[in-house]
Amino acid sequence: IGVGLVSFGLFFLLFGILLYFDSVLLAFGNLLFLSGLVFIIGFRRTFTFFFQRPKLKGTSFFFGGLIVVLMRWPVLGMLLEAYGFISLFR
């Protein structure tokens, strides 16, 4: 279930970017990606991964970008999420 949710999330993110940053598709893709991540590694491990002290800057940018996308500013939100994603997973 988790791998399917993550793959659908990535599909919706890609499709949202291809359709000139459609905010509904991007928000749906983000939510599917995060829920799939929870299903794959578990809630506690996901929480501890995102909220470690050295990764708080990346987490704040990632979730801040998610909130900005939900507020219908998709380009700025995706830029914030991309920076947060890079700083989280490097």
Which amino acid would we find at residue 81?
E
Residue 71 in this model has a pLDDT that exceeds 90: yes
Average pLDDT over residues 34-38: 95
Q: Which residues contact 88 (CB under 8 A, 6 or more apart)?
A: 50, 55, 58, 59, 62
Q: Mean pLDDT across the chain, nearest whole number? A: 95
Residue 90 in this model has a pLDDT that exceeds 90: no
Task: From 85, 68, 84, select the one nearest 26 (Cα to Cα).
Answer: 68
The confidence score (pLDDT) of residue 89 equals: 86
Average pLDDT over residues 44-67: 95
How far is it, in rounded angstroms, from Cα 65 to Cα 43?
21
Q: Are 10 and 33 in contact (CB under 8 A)?
A: yes
Average pLDDT over residues 28-55: 95
pTM: 0.89
